[in-house]
A and B are shown apart, each in its own frame.
Chain A
């Protein structure tokens, strides 16, 4: 099982409920305050100019760190679900600075709900209603909960959905750039304070410029650190949403970590989601109703995920008899205990 993961979810009791921008502001002010004290003690006011790169780097670090390490609240480990794809949000459609979030996300409506089902209906449905329902852990610490309504672009129908995200590395890359920038900015400050005269000023200016470049580089790399359809990836595929008749969308099987996303709390919004997706595959096409064997599919998807992710399967996959590429009879080998022949 291969997937990208750059975030870590936290337990609800360890999550900081403070607005992320306030968190960024006080962390930045703290860093600036220390720098100002040092500059004041040295009585070199022109070094105050270095507060600009320090503020920029510290602000970006604080924001990225919140994004990666505090934003997601663990709800109950890894979960499997199936659903009807309602909308897709590829990273390329996001405006800056949202585009730094290079997660590829989609929203899906779990069975047996039909398009236009509201939050109250979906969260009481079985077996996946619990996944979209507000949980005590996040409720008890006062986080807002709105659910995740998503609109089918072709039909205009809005449904309460389970949001799911493949993780991109954009924010992680920006953090790396900001960390380098902070190091260079602090070095510039030390040079400015410690090396007297124009030489110190020149070196400090160069370091500050390099810090600026590092930050830009991190952001630039992050913006572009998304999977490209041009990549040679055997799993490269397409996701399909409904046509204007409300038909044809993909039915997906998803497996990943079940979390609450606090990233929109500052807008009074919050919902549960699967983040990161660890496994996702297309299992069918929407024909206007859920197939009669949907219950069976739910059970089978869970079994298939359990089997695919079990250590036994992983160990089996390493064995020589499972290294064939074309067909076991052609380029496979016979294990010590041969499989039961059918001929």
Chain B
């Protein structure tokens, strides 16, 4: 009934009212358009403080360092002997596992830019150290600023360095380098960590380090051990790529890149035959801030001579908690 009345009203006089109202709307829109037109430049200014931009000439950098958490997130194995972090003593490279107490070293971080067109100016690089272990508390060392060129440019990679005097108490320390650019296409590849220790295999080699829960909830931890090492990249003129059986096959650029990636995938470089590793406790549960001393016992195969790096990675339900790279030396 209501609908019928509405239609009748529309037919009798409603359409006339509608014309009037529509003209009013049009006038209002026209007035707004005229006002904007006559405002000139201010009429064109964005109303919001934050204005999206999608222009090819607007470029964003992607500064990065060898970031174990990011790489593990991509399903790749990692080493804690960070290829982008190095300590120097009087200009000579030294291993982070052999640090003297109260000695001043120079920490150098090598920083890359994945962007072909966006350089980075004045990027802070924060250095800090942690007591050797997993999830331990970070202590700031200092911050320096670097300029980073585009990929392929003369200033890529760039190097950030900072002097660091080790604590007076003897011990092993991890080094962290954190990039803090103003803008970044990928914020997840900015934290590099160097976390190594060397132990002699006195049948077996025993390492201990603290495992600390640095999250806000109780976590149960598990460990994975592998013999992953990034190794030396393939030569650039090699038009083949390695297969899992060791043979090399010819492929196009994408296949070659995937082939290169393949050997870094998690699980591709497991513990070598004959090696036995025991982590105690096996799966500790820790309250927030809680810590436990973890003992890693590594038994090399009989007759082993040389040095072998093993990575011990700790996981909780949120993913990678951290890790250490242990070098077993024998002979």
Contacts and interface: CB of A to CB of B under 8 A. Distances in A.
Interface of A: 1-4, 87-90, 93-96, 98, 104, 150-151, 153-154, 166, 227-229, 231, 233-243, 248, 253, 256, 267, 276-285, 293, 296-297, 300-301, 303-305, 307-308, 310, 312-314, 316-317, 319-336, 339, 342-343
Nearest to A342: B86
Contacts of B76: 326, 330
A229 B41 CA distance: 23
Given A90-B46, A300-B122, A307-B154, A281 B51 contact: no
B149 A308 contact: yes
B319 to A, nearest CB: 18
Top 6 A-B pairs ranked by shortest CB distance? Answer: A227-B54, A316-B152, A304-B119, A3-B57, A317-B152, A320-B236
B64 interface: yes
Contacts of A277: 55, 57-58
| Interface size of B as a range | 35 or more
Given A234-B185, A327-B71, A334-B233, A4 B45 contact: no
Interface stretch (B211-219, B253-261, B273-281): B253-261
Contact of B53 (A95, A234, A239, A256): A239
B296 interface: no
Contact of B117 (A1, A104, A231): A1
27 contacts: A93-B44, A95-B36, A150-B45, A151-B45, A227-B54, A227-B55, A236-B54, A238-B51, A239-B53, A242-B49, A253-B121, A256-B57, A267-B40, A277-B55, A280-B59, A281-B59, A281-B119, A283-B183, A284-B121, A284-B182, A296-B122, A303-B147, A307-B149, A307-B154, A317-B151, A327-B112, A330-B264
B261 A278 contact: no
B234 A236 contact: no
B112 A328 contact: yes
B237 interface: yes
A165 to B, nearest CB: 10
Interface in B17-59: 33, 36-37, 40-47, 49-59
Contacts of A153: 45-47, 49
A342 B233 CA distance: 15
B42 A98 contact: no
Given A2-B57, A313-B152, A330-B230, A93 B182 contact: no
B236 A238 contact: no
How would you classify the secondary structure of chain B's contact residues: helix, strand, loop or mixed?
loop
Nearest to B42: A151
Contact of B45 (A87, A284, A331, A335): A87
Contact of A307 (B119, B182, B235): B119
A297 B121 contact: yes
B64 A327 contact: yes
A308 B150 contact: yes
A231 B118 CA distance: 20
B155 A307 contact: yes
A252 B41 CA distance: 21
Interface in B59-118: 59-61, 64, 66, 71, 74, 76, 83-84, 86, 93, 108, 110, 112, 114, 116-118
A81 B168 CA distance: 48
B68 to A, nearest CB: 11
B236 A237 contact: no
Residue of B54, B55, B153, B233 contacting most chain A CB atoms (<10 Å)? B55
B52 A238 contact: yes
Given A166-B57, A278-B57, A333 B74 contact: no
A234 to B, nearest CB: 6
Contacts of A331: 257, 260-261, 264
A89 B53 contact: no
B238 interface: yes
